Structure 1
Amino acid sequence: MSDTLFGVSLPPRRGFSVPIQVLEEGGVTAWLVEEHSLPVVSVAWAWPGGAARDPEGHEGLHGMAAALLSEGAGDLSNIAFADAARDAGIGLGFSGGRDSFEGSFRTLSPALPEALRLARLAMTAPRLDESALARVRARAVLGARQALETPAGLARREFWHSAYPDHPAGRQPTPESLSAVSREEVRTALDAQMRRGGILLTAAGDIDPDGLRDLIRALFATLPEGAPEPVPPLPSPERFGVRRVEKAAPQSTLYFGQDALLPTDPDWEAFQVALRILAGGGFTSRLTRTIREERGLTYGIGAGLDLLFGRAVVVGQVQTDNATVGEVWRLLREGWAAMAAEGPTEEEVRDAVAFLSGSLPLQFTDTRRTASLLLGLRQAGRDPAWLAGRPARLAALTREDVARAARRLDAAALSLAVAGEPQGL
């Protein structure tokens, strides 16, 4: 495919692919993108779990547990641990996501043994000092309180709670639930979460397959056998209509969404294109033109696919003055219905496909991003062939393909959580 810029023909685009090697060691299957031009190695790994296994009333447990892993381990206090990582130029961290528990590091190649030592020490001998627990809890409580003080945080919380009232996806940490977490609960959660089985691992950079096998043995061989319990499957979201959360503020935040395709659906790429045209980021989407440019009702509006628990949900957000909430909600639903009924134009499809195809290589510009993105693909159930075939699948899409996928957009299924002092609903 050749392009033009200011009337000048550009050379044909080169094909894009990621050279993924798949290997196995000790029951761990790993993806590797080998690149030796710079002496940098990035590794990311994950188990199923995270917030999905927070007990009711103790939401935030696994997030706090992940944060505590880098707050001192073995004979290293929190300061000594941080100094050791900083002195070697190592970026090491853990996180408790909604449906996963993750670790990662990036390091210069000569410091790889030290990165492995610190990561292994964090996973096998975390100190969990009471002083560290108090610091981590204070940060988490502050974040939870801030989320409860803004229309955006309140609307987001209400949306997920209303969409999944009986599932962990609908529960969010509160100051009270975080305060209820004990040191003993953290240790129990970590023991159950970090096992030798159930690991997804990806690596990128200055390491070869034999080196990665050595890394896997060094990193995980001393963990307890077995795998974490599987996370509960995600049902379709409830259609809850409109939910209001009153909050004194000059503007309201609208958080909206509907069910989406399963990641295995053959219309996945076509649906992404339709959603990009309707509500994608930037200033080119239909809803941006209608609501922002033509009427000046918001600074920005966007929606995309949120993938969690093996399913996808369409979620979006927009802020507007309280007095114009009703008008924005009407315009949003009208745009949603028009896309489903009429589909896109040929030009819209061409531009959206060009953006998605052109932005794909930019997502693999450094080792940390590459390892993280590959891990996300693995968590979504993808394989290397899926990624390799994505440019061709996008290029093959027609207007009719995207119009068919766009019919999955259902204005009647849209649910809205709005926080502020909205008028006109």
Structure 2
Amino acid sequence: MTYSLTRRAALIGGACAAMLALTSVPSQAAAKIQRLVSPGGIEAWFVQDATVPLIAMEYSFGGGASQDPPGKPGVGNLVADLLDEGSGDLDSKTYHERLERRAIELSFASNRDQFRGSLRMLKDNKDEAYDLLRMALTSPRFEPKDVERIRAQVISNLRRESTNPSSLSGRKFLELAFGDHPYGRTATGTLESVPTIEISDLKEYVRRNIAKDTLRIAVVGDVDADTLGKLLDKTFGDLPAKAELTPIPDVVATKPPQRAFVPL
């Protein structure tokens, strides 16, 4: 599935709106959104604002849960939960200590079509914040003990959802609406699939999905364009040039309309 200009514009607009909501941006700042291209060719949509000494960034890669391996829904979600559990020469404890010491907020999520991330920090901590993000994206550790700990948390949540009417109805809707299409998979996986996910699946997901050609970035905060361009190159510059995404077929509407009863 290729990304149309409409989809790109929607992503950029949504990300910029989310960023503007995070800080006290004056109303006139909406007219100052800049298209920034770093020296290394990384594109971002950028609002410079020095109202408060904060920098916030939202970014995404194409793919998301639709790129989970057949029969193993939940791989992207598990990757998102594990990228900040140690990277490079930092184990999970040390990595989180560095985040907490500098009050850096870092998170990842996998939805239907995108693998998304968020980064927020004080201006003075920008170099360390962007470096920690770089490490998470380029050299995640996926230590067995961390994988099993996070897997147990995911399974616990899935068990809780198995008795939740809203979760059950949502899963049933995906099943009826999309059938065997990748959109019919739940992003968090199932009680049957999550235990079968291997570390090799996590590494392969990162290799295939985290790449520069589908990268979309929005930044707002107290940083100038030249400094931001260098930070973006340092953070994303070593990623693969192109993702290896599996094409997603168009969705065909389910016919006729159906009604389902889910016993609880």
* Same fold at TM > 0.5: yes
Q: Counterpart amino acid of 2:259?
A: V
Equivalent in the alignment of 2:50: 36
**Alignment match of 2:139 (pick from 101, 114, 125):** 125
**Alignment match of 1:213 (pick from 229, 233, 237):** 229
Q: Counterpart amino acid of 2:263?
A: E
Equivalent in the alignment of 1:243: 260
CA displacement, residues 97-134 of structure 1 (integer Å, 9 cap, x when unaligned): 11111122100000000001110111111110001100
CA contact (8 A) 1:93 1:104 kept: yes
1:111 and 1:59 map into 2 onto residues whose CA distance is 36
1:17 and 1:114 map into 2 onto residues whose CA distance is 28
CA displacement, residues 235-271 of structure 1 (integer Å, 9 cap, x when unaligned): 2532432111111xxxxxxxxxxxxxxxxxxxxxxxx
Percent identical pairs in the alignment equals 30
2:171 and 2:52 map into 1 onto residues whose CA distance is 42
Equivalent in the alignment of 2:126: 112
CA contact (8 A) 1:28 1:200 kept: no
Equivalent in the alignment of 2:195: 179
Are 2:112 and 1:98 equivalent residues in the alignment?
Answer: yes
Q: CA deviation at 1:228?
A: 4.0
Equivalent in the alignment of 1:196: 212
Are 2:89 and 1:75 equivalent residues in the alignment?
Answer: yes
Give the TM-score of the pair, scaled to structure 1.
Answer: 0.53
CA contact (8 A) 1:52 1:231 kept: no
For the pair shown, the structure with the greater C-alpha radius of gyration is 1
Q: CA deviation at 1:231?
A: 5.2
Matching of residues 177-326 of structure 1 within 5 Å: 177-229=193-245, 232-239=248-255, 240-247=257-264
**Alignment match of 1:160 (pick from 166, 170, 174):** 174
2:159 and 2:66 map into 1 onto residues whose CA distance is 21
Runs of 4+ with deviation above 6 angstroms = none
1:15 and 1:91 map into 2 onto residues whose CA distance is 27
CA contact (8 A) 2:67 2:246 kept: no
1:229 and 1:57 map into 2 onto residues whose CA distance is 17
Question: Greater relative contact order (Cα 8 A, min sep 6): structure 1 or 2?
Answer: 2
Q: CA deviation at 1:227?
A: 2.8
Q: Counterpart amino acid of 1:22?
A: R
Equivalent in the alignment of 1:332: none
CA contact (8 A) 1:48 1:228 kept: no
Give the TM-score of the pair, scaled to structure 2.
Answer: 0.83
Q: How many residues align?
A: 234
**Alignment match of 1:138 (pick from 149, 152, 155):** 152
Structure 2 residue ranges without an equivalent (≥5): 1-26
CA contact (8 A) 2:87 2:95 kept: yes
Where is the strand percentage greater, Structure 1 or Structure 2? 1
